Structure 1
Amino acid sequence: MSRTTRATQALDKARLAYAVHSYDYDPNAEKVGMQAAEGLGVSAAIVLKTLMTLVDSKPVCAVLPSDREVSMKKLAAAVGGKSAQMMKPADAERLTGYVVGGISPFGQKKAVPTVMEITALDHPRVFLNGGQRGLQVEGDPKDFLAALKAKAADILG
């Protein structure tokens, strides 16, 4: 497994301090983020999942704790939209250049608006997908938020 991905290259370019962690990815896991937390031996509340969505038919990246669900209504409101839905996996892969289970908010092929669940900022360190299955990057959520030019909002259902 390569520990250099477009995501880690984007973090390096942004000059962010981060640590890379790998775990045994289970393609049959019901919830990938929860499986990542278990594999890393950390709380699911600090392992953030990356969801690719459509708000009023425009792509939006949502980043939230892996043990929680996104409120599509709150997500849409956070970016000034009316309605939101999950993006089809094939569309998410085409847009981001990553495979499902390895989608990072960093280093996507096309930059899209990103919304991070505000409670993630309550933690000194969080984990985000590092750009491939079984790879996570750990860092300061405030640094991640700034580097992503993301908006922090309550998007939990």
Structure 2
Amino acid sequence: MSKTPSTPATRLLRQQKVPYTEHVYRYEEHGGTAVSSRELGVPEHAVVKTLVMEDETGAPLVVLMHGDREVSTKALARQLGKKTVQICKPEVAQRHSGYLVGGTSPFGTRKAMPVHVERTILELPKLYVNGGSRGFLVGIAPADLVRVLSPVPVDVAIEQ
């Protein structure tokens, strides 16, 4: 397949001495985690979406969610003590993260943003999260995700 990209995410992981596996696949526009899990042969539940969201003041935040789940923005706002939380428009998400939508990694973002993780993601033996480029995931242990990002666990998953 294609060469593995070097991204701000992989540079940060190497700098933090995080062991990770690289997984390149053919990106499909609007394919989402269904495509990446199929291409990698892993459960969609283990593929983690990186969502750039914002509260009512426009303050950005990152939410990590299982690929086969959606985020309850009402539950998230309630748990964060905010009035509302919504997904950012693609151009706004790109401005905050420095990544193209579809290639957003929680690692190495342009702006430092608070990171929230669906609690059950931390129970996975291994998770697959975007490595900073469309069609590129990295496999890491949840403990390493916690060590590097210090995410706040939340309970906001909705089954699709």
Counterpart AA for 1:47:
V
What's the TM-score, normalizing by structure 2? 0.92
Deviation at 1:141, TM superposition (A): 1.2
Segments of structure 2 that go 5 or more residues without pairing to the other structure are none
Segment drifting more, 89-98 vs 142-151: 142-151
| 2:7 alignment counterpart | 5
Deviation at 1:77, TM superposition (A): 2.9
| Cα RMSD for the two superposed structures | 1.2
Deviation at 1:75, TM superposition (A): 1.7
Q: Is the 8 A contact 1:33 1:49 kept in 2?
A: yes
Q: Take 2:54 and 2:126, find their aligned partners in 1: how far apart are those partners?
A: 28
Deviation at 1:145, TM superposition (A): 2.1
Counterparts of 1:21-40 in structure 2, within 5 Å, are: 21-29=23-31, 32-40=32-40
Which runs of structure 1 show a deviation greater than 2 angstroms over 4 or more consecutive aligned residues?
A: 77-80
Q: Is the 8 A contact 2:54 2:87 kept in 1?
A: yes
Counterparts of 1:114-153 in structure 2, within 5 Å, are: 114-153=115-154
Deviation at 1:9, TM superposition (A): 0.8
Q: Is the 8 A contact 2:4 2:22 kept in 1?
A: no
Deviations 1:56-108 (A, max 9, x none): 22111000101100010222233332211110100001111110100000010
| 2:51 alignment counterpart | 51
What is the aligned-residue identity percentage?
37
Q: How many residues align?
A: 155
Q: Take 1:91 and 1:107, find their aligned partners in 2: how far apart are those partners?
A: 17
| 1:68 alignment counterpart | 69
* 1:94 aligns to 2:95 (yes or no): yes
| 1:18 alignment counterpart | 20
Q: Is the 8 A contact 2:4 2:24 kept in 1?
A: no
Q: Is the 8 A contact 1:116 1:145 kept in 2?
A: no
Counterpart AA for 1:155:
V
Q: What SS is found at the alignment partner of 1:128? A: strand
Segments of structure 1 that go 5 or more residues without pairing to the other structure are none
| 1:85 alignment counterpart | 86
Q: Take 2:14 and 2:81, find their aligned partners in 1: how far apart are those partners?
A: 31
Q: What SS is found at the alignment partner of 2:28? A: coil
Q: What SS is found at the alignment partner of 1:112? A: coil
